[in-house]
Structure 1
């Protein structure tokens, strides 16, 4: 087997495990809400811990990108990522829960940056586009995680046993992937974050990933709660499972769709699908319409983030690693601010009406993608 194929398989394993761990957390949020007897606002407060921890990671991740190749930080963060899930599953202490969620969020930031740094470097070894497929594998990992959770709920398996299984699985396969990941991929230039007026190219990419991530993060954390509280389904993971399934389908096909209709039209298509999906979920909160709505949202949201990371490699100002670190800050803030905002809006109005936030974010993809492509036209 060619070395580049081994590297692709190892990196695919990391993407799969990252999605698997994240969905294992997200699909158990209703369980955690029940164990600690949280209201929607109190759950929102817990979820707010995540963007705070991620912001703390900004200077640290920038320093790591400038000092290290991606392989060691990626695997070390993966191990702590999985271990924090074990603490989340076993603790009944609110302080320990907050610490574990903080570590989980911090490690997620480091993992995202170094995985995507590897994708841009590895892409150069292949003639066809492969970045979208990695994000598809992340979604497949997420789909596997929520499927496992659904099965364990059916079998009445505890959250403690669930998280122990996830942690051991992640430890084993992330350790095995270490030996085949790319080595010595640290860039020798463009490794300093420059303060001052934001670079327009990075700024527009950041705003796009922010809006997409508000939708993605909100759906991750609230789709199960929505299915339980609004749709009234006992097996509350069905909505999340459907959303993740169509996300995976969209990401595996995103490279082909971009090639066929172009990147700008792909942004417009994503926005339309998100708006249609959210409108369906809000106006028709019954089982089948809600599933159809979640399907459309998954199809729409999924392609945006791979497109943004593809564009990050075109930055004239920064290395790929630093560009991804900056853009990821917008993305992680969106992913992690979305859920607590939904919680606060749900407390004030209702969970159903709080989903209007996602509709707004879907619409905003259109004007900001236009601004991005005007920059491309001016540089051409």
Structure 2
């Protein structure tokens, strides 16, 4: 028995631990979805333009990306349970602070803190989920990632209901903060106090097959970032849709991804991890091609459905596979793949913007189709290497 296996033998992951792991994803999604509707109000209050707002939002992504490796170290020193409990409460309280701010420099400072906490929460909940699934000896990763989407829907939906009821942004933020805190206190006792074996090095420099996992995660996250940030531009500019319909692509993609993730664990058991990754990438690539090639408004959603269907379970499977590799400790491997994947969300859409400026938005979607075909080949290679 290895040092890691001896260390893991002291933990258990029953039904309560599995529900707590799912709740952590729900809370993260709920918090992010609370922040998103606040952005227009913040922009109006600070009297800033789109360019300044874009730079402010970039503070979150850069801060999260920089702090993720540190999050791996903190988890090894203090354990997932303590880190998650503190960070998710801080996450919620920052929302309330943001609702009060009226100075751009204080806003920058708080957004940098927001990004640090968000990055730490992301690493911690994924690390906990990998260990819970390994101890449970059952496939539950896809359903946990599905709960992030559920949290987003619930957070955005509740925000809209409260806003339509006439409540102020500050009041809505306080209500959401209270909900997050109550759920966090209920779930956190069943969050694992996992730190990693004492001989592990928490430095998250990817190596071995984890590098390939990270590339796959980056491409998969890029799909989500691209559809979220650029599908509206594509539909209005390349397809000539009215601005009121700009969000339809992302909405269809999100629903498809949510549905497929809910049935993803069973699908992986029936179809197999390799087919989910290889054929999932091919299906997503075909989806991007159809989005470009189909001009019929009523058939166009098929492309976005295929993108969501194909990409939905690739990342959950990658996290599950981390327990089968020996190139890095689980602690460092989760941190590494999360950092690499995050570049797809943070930097990917910006890079695609430069490409769109030079080659056109249609070329961007062709490029995304090619990337997913490349991902299918790389996934096949990884599974052959894993044996």
Work out whether residues 209 and 327 of structure 2, in 8 Å CA contact, stay in contact via their aligned partners in 1. no
1:206, distance to aligned residue in structure 2 (A): 0.7
- Comparing 17-26 with 203-212, greater Cα deviation is found at 17-26
Rounded to whole Å, the distance in 2 between the matches of 1:188 and 1:290 is: 53
Match of 2:207 among 185, 199, 211: 199
Provide the aligned C-alpha RMSD in A. 3.4
Distance 1:263 1:163, change over 3 A: same
Q: Are positions 1:257 and 2:267 aligned together?
A: yes
Give unmatched runs, 5+ long, in structure 2.
1-11
Rounded to whole Å, the distance in 2 between the matches of 1:33 and 1:284 is: 36
SS at structure 2 position matched to 1:182: coil
Rounded to whole Å, the distance in 2 between the matches of 1:165 and 1:60 is: 31
Match of 1:337 among 347, 355, 358: 347
1:117, distance to aligned residue in structure 2 (A): 1.9
Work out whether residues 64 and 116 of structure 2, in 8 Å CA contact, stay in contact via their aligned partners in 1. yes
Q: CA offsets per residue over residues 100-135 of structure 1, 9 Å max, x none?
A: 333232222211222122222222443421122111
Counterpart position of 1:210: 218
Rounded to whole Å, the distance in 2 between the matches of 1:341 and 1:52 is: 15
SS at structure 2 position matched to 1:188: coil
Rounded to whole Å, the distance in 2 between the matches of 1:200 and 1:358 is: 26
Rounded to whole Å, the distance in 1 between the matches of 2:367 and 2:333 is: 27
Match of 1:321 among 301, 307, 331: 331
Match of 2:283 among 255, 264, 273: 273
- Comparing 316-325 with 199-208, greater Cα deviation is found at 316-325
1:154, distance to aligned residue in structure 2 (A): 6.4
Work out whether residues 81 and 103 of structure 1, in 8 Å CA contact, stay in contact via their aligned partners in 2. no
Q: How does 1:300-315 map to 2 (within 5 A)?
A: 300-315=310-325
Q: CA offsets per residue over residues 322-348 of structure 1, 9 Å max, x none?
A: 110111110112221123334445566
Q: Are positions 1:53 and 2:63 aligned together?
A: yes
Work out whether residues 275 and 362 of structure 1, in 8 Å CA contact, stay in contact via their aligned partners in 2. yes
Q: How does 1:18-97 map to 2 (within 5 A)?
A: 18-26=28-36, 38-39=49-50, 44-97=54-107
SS at structure 1 position matched to 2:200: coil
Q: CA offsets per residue over residues 121-179 of structure 1, 9 Å max, x none?
A: 22244342112211121222123234445556766766555444333321221122222
Work out whether residues 227 and 249 of structure 2, in 8 Å CA contact, stay in contact via their aligned partners in 1. no
1:79, distance to aligned residue in structure 2 (A): 1.7
Q: How does 1:106-125 map to 2 (within 5 A)?
A: 106-125=116-135
Distance 1:223 1:151, change over 3 A: farther
Counterpart position of 1:14: 24
Work out whether residues 80 and 103 of structure 1, in 8 Å CA contact, stay in contact via their aligned partners in 2. no
Distance 1:73 1:94, change over 3 A: same
Work out whether residues 126 and 334 of structure 2, in 8 Å CA contact, stay in contact via their aligned partners in 1. yes
Q: Which has the larger radius of gyration?
A: 2
TM-score, normalised relative to structure 1: 0.83
Distance 1:33 1:290, change over 3 A: farther
Give unmatched runs, 5+ long, in structure 1.
none
Count of residue correspondences: 373
Work out whether residues 48 and 340 of structure 1, in 8 Å CA contact, stay in contact via their aligned partners in 2. no
Distance 1:227 1:99, change over 3 A: farther
1:313, distance to aligned residue in structure 2 (A): 1.2
Work out whether residues 146 and 240 of structure 1, in 8 Å CA contact, stay in contact via their aligned partners in 2. no
Match of 1:171 among 181, 201, 215: 181
Counterpart position of 1:219: 227
- Comparing 337-346 with 127-136, greater Cα deviation is found at 337-346
